Amino acid sequence: MNEERVLALAGVFQGVALAQQLANGGRCDDAAYEASLASVFRIDADSVAGVYGNVAGVRRGLRTLVNQFEEKTRDVAVMRMGVTVLRLERSLSRNRALLDRLHEGIVAAQRQVEHFGLNHPNVAARLAELYATTLSTLKPRVMVTGNPTQLQQKANVDRVRACLLASVRSAVLWHQLGGRQWHMLFQGKQCAMLARGLLTGSTLDNGF
């Protein structure tokens, strides 16, 4: 495990943690949400940290990772979603036609970002539709549980799906960096330690 892989894995877990927040309460960490959505469009970033703007952009994910590898603070639902996303990315990687459709959809959504801005509901709706017509057709499907009231509101479901799309984008990056599922099983403590170090560094960089 190295810092780049930990950042990408933090991106995976940030996306699912945000989806879970939205499903339960209809709200989430706005800065983390924006960084996760922006990562979908940063295909040619110079560095892994650059995919999220900087390390601070994925702090929510780093904190989630630390919690997931500590017995007392593990969230079983978030862990299950994170592992499912990693498996879903493997299914996607074997489907060239769907990969192409996903890429075309992201390019089209980028035009909406330029027109409306990243946080506009139209952007979340476009990304959600893209998720539903591509990734939702693959196995395994990511199961999101939460408050039925929140999961009946289209605008909120759009944001949940947009977060899951961002999570899969990070899973693609994780695999490109040599990340494998067994790393989580056997290198969890090392992962948590590196995540703590990155969190400390990003806090110092931001001056608080």
Is residue 208, in this structure, part of any structural domain at all?
no
Domain count across the chain: 1
Q: Which CATH number covers residue 197?
A: 1.10.3890.10
Contact present, 37 and 187 (Cβ < 8 Å): no
Is residue 163, in this structure, part of any structural domain at all?
yes
Percent of the residues in the chain that have a pLDDT greater than 70, as a whole number: 97
* Consecutive H or E run containing 188: helix 188-205
pLDDT one digit per residue (tens) for the chain, 208 residues: 899 999 999 999 999 999 999 999 999 999 999 999 999 999 888 999 999 999 999 999 999 999 998 778 889 999 999 999 999 999 999 999 999 999 999 999 999 999 999 999 999 999 999 999 999 999 999 999 999 999 999 999 999 999 999 999 999 999 999 999 888 888 889 999 999 999 998 866 554 4
Is residue 35, in this structure, part of any structural domain at all?
yes
Over residues 111-153, the pLDDT tens digits come to 999 999 999 999 999 999 999 999 999 999 999 999 999 999 9
Is residue 55, in this structure, part of any structural domain at all?
yes
Q: Which residues neighbour 177 within 8 Å (Cβ) at sequence distance 6 or greater?
A: 4, 5, 8, 48
Residue closest to 109 by CA, chosen among 166, 155, 47, 156: 166
Geometric angle at alpha carbon 86, from 76 and 112, rounded to 5°? 105
Task: Please give the pLDDT value at position 207.
Answer: 46
Is residue 174, in this structure, part of any structural domain at all?
yes
Task: Please give the pLDDT value at position 18.
Answer: 98
Is residue 25, in this structure, part of any structural domain at all?
yes
Contact present, 147 and 23 (Cβ < 8 Å): yes
Q: Structure pTM?
A: 0.95
For the chain, state the CA radius of gyration.
16
Is residue 24, in this structure, part of any structural domain at all?
yes
Task: Please give the pLDDT value at position 206.
Answer: 55
Is residue 199, in this structure, part of any structural domain at all?
yes
Q: Which amino acid is at 13?
A: F
Q: Which domain holds residue 191?
A: 3-203
Contact present, 9 and 191 (Cβ < 8 Å): yes
